[in-house]
Amino acid sequence: MYKHIINEERHLINYLFYFEKKSISQIAQNLKRNKSTISRELKINSDEFGFYDAHKAHQKSKIRSYHKYASSFYKYQEFTKIFVSKYDKNFHGIEATYQFIKKNYPNIKIPSFRQIFNWFKSNRWELKKSDKPRKYYKKGRKRKKGIFSKFENKFVFPIWTRPKYIDLRKEYGHWEADLIIGKRENGFENLVSLTERKTRENYYQKIKSKNPMKVN
């Protein structure tokens, strides 16, 4: 996978090219980069006289990157406005917010899910890297608020992330699931229960395994 040249590498290119008089092939070998990557870096980030300066090259790269994202942000202004107002990293994460907008605002222009993550990583969007929820739980460390597990490549939210209005039990359609473990001598059969919070309506289903794929 191609990785962009970073600032430290630009200073090395600058030094090797002008002070040690290394060829592009030698610089590429030294940096463990493809020859075409070094050639492209020298071509697009040199000044109007063809001189390559690491500091100026880095600034040119940042400006180019900013404009690339700026045009993308402008295209999805309405989506961004709704996303920022709805998103909460502790209670309504990235995927939940994305799906909410897709369902409730079918007429606005919506980016891809991957693009949203790229926006977070860029640190140039309305929301920054620090606004992303934690994706997993690290063993041996104190658990913090955030998403800490995944199932079938989807985030699994702890129960405390449930919106507070659900606790009022005024709206139908919010279910709680529980797994009742059977005794060993009975063949490991377990019972899955589903309870609707408002009506207290219950459904039960026998299953032979605690495996999440079976429960799901």
Confidence of residue 184 (pLDDT cuts 50, 70, 90): low
How far apart are the C-alpha atoms of 37 and 143, rounded to whole Å? 42
How confident is the prediction for the chain on average, in pLDDT? 80
Nearest to 58 by CA among 21, 20, 1, 4: 4
Residue 216 CB: number of other CB atoms within 10 A? 8
Mean pLDDT of 74-101: 89
3-state DSSP call for residue 11?
A: helix
- Residue ranges of the domains in the chain? 7-73, 88-158, 162-215
Torsion (CA) 168, 169, 172, 176 in degrees, nearest 10: 110
Phi, psi of 118 (to 5 degrees): -65, -35
Mean pLDDT of 165-179: 81
What six digits make up the tokens of 2? 């191609």
Q: List pLDDT tens digits, range 2-35.
A: 578 888 899 999 999 999 999 999 999 999 999 9
Confidence of residue 158 (pLDDT cuts 50, 70, 90): low
What six digits make up the tokens of 135? 């994706």
> How wide is the angle at C-alpha 17 spanned by C-alphas 15 and 21, nearest 5°?
105
pLDDT value at residue 83: 93
How far apart are the C-alpha atoms of 195 and 206, rounded to whole Å? 15
Angle between helices 35-44 and 24-31 (to 10 degrees): 110
Q: List pLDDT tens digits, range 25-77.
A: 999 999 999 999 999 999 999 988 999 999 999 888 877 776 667 777 888 89
In order of 20, 24, 95, 124, 156, the CA distances from 112 in angstroms are: 46, 37, 11, 17, 21
Residue 195 forms beta bridges with which residues? 176, 202
Mean pLDDT of 76-81: 92
How far apart are the C-alpha atoms of 136 and 140, rounded to whole Å? 13
pLDDT-above-70 percentage for the chain: 77
Residue 173 pLDDT exceeds 60: yes
